[in-house]
Every structure is written in structure tokens, then in C-alpha cells.
Amino acid sequence: MNSNHNFLPVSKADMEARGIDQLDFIFVTGDAYVDHPSFAAAVIGRVLEDAGFTVGIIAQPRKNVEAFKVLGEPRLGFLVNSGNIDSMVAHYTAAKKPRREDSYSPGGRAGMRPDRAVLVYCSMIKSAYRDVPVIIGGLEASLRRYAHYDYWQDKVRRSILLDSKADLLVYGMGEAQILEIAKYLNYGSHVKNITGVRGTCYVTSSVDQLKSYTETPSFEDVVADKRAYSEAFKKQYQEMDAIRGLTVVQKHGQRYLVQNPPALPLSQKEMDAIYDLPYARTYHPMYEASGGVPAIKEVKFSLITQSGCFGSCNFCA
């Protein structure tokens, strides 16, 4: 097993060992911390680290404010995802029965992340550090970025960006987006002014500043009319081409969800550089006593061959 120094910091002791007084970013994830390029926290953390930023990991924090203070207040922001899988899918079968195991948790133990983890984590962070930027991403955030049908509640919910009260949403693969956002924050830009990054969504009270965009039926319209929901989905899907895709707007009450065009695909050189970063390629030693993290078994000796999904949903490989 690798020593803790081969992993990103997970404690104040780790920070002290590296001479870090304050981290630039803290990544909060619903998965156990596995430092392998099949796990978003590892990829985004290593990409930021390679660019000169310091990054810590809070993995599967308990549902209390103090759990989000273990690494202190980050200088630039919190990054949040539910892990490699939607937290509701991690917890329940299609029949809405509780699952007995979670391969992304220590020892395969179920229940280590809350339902709707992104919402819970953002709420806890805002309670702990009210003014620190919060950026959400990953599967749960990406799939719920517009008004969406929620299978678990059998109703249409608002964009997760509004419900979480996060500042920015990164959709799809996030390596390019997070570097651009990090540079803006490091230069002193206020997170509310970071509205031009491809592959991101933000909320605004006016779209007068937008030069060109397409607008889908509003949240209120898609709740009231299934045909409007279908029209909204069609428009959203049609603009997912990274070359010709337009900015997409969806009104929620008096505010607008704005989705910038998708991030451009990584070049072979860029992708090779990302997956050649110094990953430990295993789970953190703190999980050894629990039996490790089962999800590493199927990918430990794998080679990443593409960025995005064979099914064109662009979240995993």
C-alpha cells in the first residue's frame, strides 16, 4: 500500500506534512477517496495540483457542519459531487428498495452518502462557510442541470443549481472547465462574474447580456405540460454539439438557468497528460481496516481509452 504522501490531503496532519496552511480547493465527494483516474475527485484534484493549486479531499462527510470544517476554509472554493454515481441510484433499486451494498464505499457498506448528496453537501458548506464559492459537477449535477423529471418523487424538479444554491455547475467532463474557473478565481474574479466558461451553467436574473441563445420552455411550462417537457428536452439535446451548440436558457420563476455551449473535446496530447498524472491508483490507506473499496477491483489495472461515455452521455469512460 502506498504511503499517505502519494495521496491528496485528507486531514490537517496531511496538510502540515506538506507545509500547507490553507488549501486552494476542497473537493467534497460522495465516494470513498480512491486516487485513480476513473474517479472524478482524483482526476480533478490531480489536474488542479498539476496546475499549481493545492487540493484536499473530504470523502463521504457525515451530515453535520463540523464534518465540512476538517480541512479549514479553502482559499478559492469548494468542489462538490455525489461521487461516480447518482446518490439516489446508489441507494435504491429501480423498485425503490434500499440497496444492501455500495461498491464506492469502504467495505461495500451502504448508506455512506446522503440521499441527494449534492444538495446536502452544498447546504452544509453554506452553513459552515457562507461566502466561499461552491462549484458542483459530476453525474448528479450534470443530469439534473435543467428542470428534470425525478423518478423518486414522481414529479418535475427545478434545476439542481437553484436547489443547491451553488454558484456554478460544471457539466460533462470537467478538466478544462475547472482549470479556467480556478484561474479566474485566483486572479480575484468574483464567482458570480464567471459566466463565460464553456461547459458550465449559472443562474442570472437577466439574459439581456447574451448575444445569441435558444430558450427552452420554462420550468413552470414543463411542469404543466408533457409536450413542453419534450420540447425542452429536444432543444437541450440538439445543442450538445461542442462545435455548433448554442447557449441554452431556461426560465425558472424570475430567474434564468443559462447553459454555456459544451466544452471542446480534449486533444490526444491533453488527455494523455491528464491520465499520466501521478495517481496512486488505489484507495486511500485509511480504508484498509474496512476491507478497502470494492470499486477499485474492476479498474485498478485498466487503461483509460476515451473521455466520455460510449453512450454519448459524456460522464464516464
Instruction: Tell me: pLDDT of 276 over 90.
Output: yes
Residue 204: what pLDDT? 97
Residue 309: what pLDDT? 66
For residues 203 and 249, what is the distance between their CA atoms, to the nearest angstrom? 10
pLDDT digits (tens, 9 = 90+) for 52-65: 999 999 999 998 99
Residue 209, helix vs strand vs coil = coil
Over the chain, what is the mean pLDDT?
93
Going by pLDDT thresholds of 50, 70 and 90, the confidence category of residue 124 is: very high
Q: What residues does each domain of the chain span? A: 4-203+255-296
Going by pLDDT thresholds of 50, 70 and 90, the confidence category of residue 310 is: low
For residue 169, what is the DSSP state? E
Supply 160's cell numbers.
Answer: 439542481
In the chain, the percentage of residues whose pLDDT exceeds 90 is 86
298 versus 216: which is more confidently predicted? 216
Residue 153, helix vs strand vs coil = coil
Question: What is this structure's pTM?
Answer: 0.94
Residue type, 82: S
pLDDT digits (tens, 9 = 90+) for 144-198: 999 999 999 999 999 999 999 999 999 988 999 999 999 999 999 999 999 999 9
pLDDT digits (tens, 9 = 90+) for 68-81: 999 999 999 999 99
For residues 144 and 259, what is the distance between their CA atoms, to the nearest angstrom? 12
Average pLDDT over residues 193-221: 96
Residues with Cβ within 8 Å of residue 115, at least 6 apart in sequence: 87, 88, 91
Instruction: Tell me: pLDDT of 5 over 90.
Output: no
Closest listed residue to residue 277, CA positions, set 83, 35, 21: 35
Instruction: Tell me: pLDDT of 98 over 90.
Output: yes
Of the listed ranges 16-20, 95-99, 284-288, 301-305, the one predicted with least confidence: 301-305
Average pLDDT over residues 15-39: 96
**Domain 4-203+255-296 in CATH 3.40.50.150:** no
For residues 190 and 138, what is the distance between their CA atoms, to the nearest angstrom? 23
Cell numbers 452518502 correspond to what residue?
Answer: 113
Of the listed ranges 176-185, 209-218, 305-314, the one predicted with least confidence: 305-314
Q: How far is CA 129 from CA 69, 132, 163, 182, 275, in A?
A: 9, 6, 18, 18, 33
Instruction: Tell me: pLDDT of 317 over 60.
Output: no
Instruction: Tell me: pLDDT of 316 over 70.
Output: no
Going by pLDDT thresholds of 50, 70 and 90, the confidence category of residue 311 is: low
Going by pLDDT thresholds of 50, 70 and 90, the confidence category of residue 300 is: confident
Residues with Cβ within 8 Å of residue 72, at least 6 apart in sequence: 12, 15, 22, 23
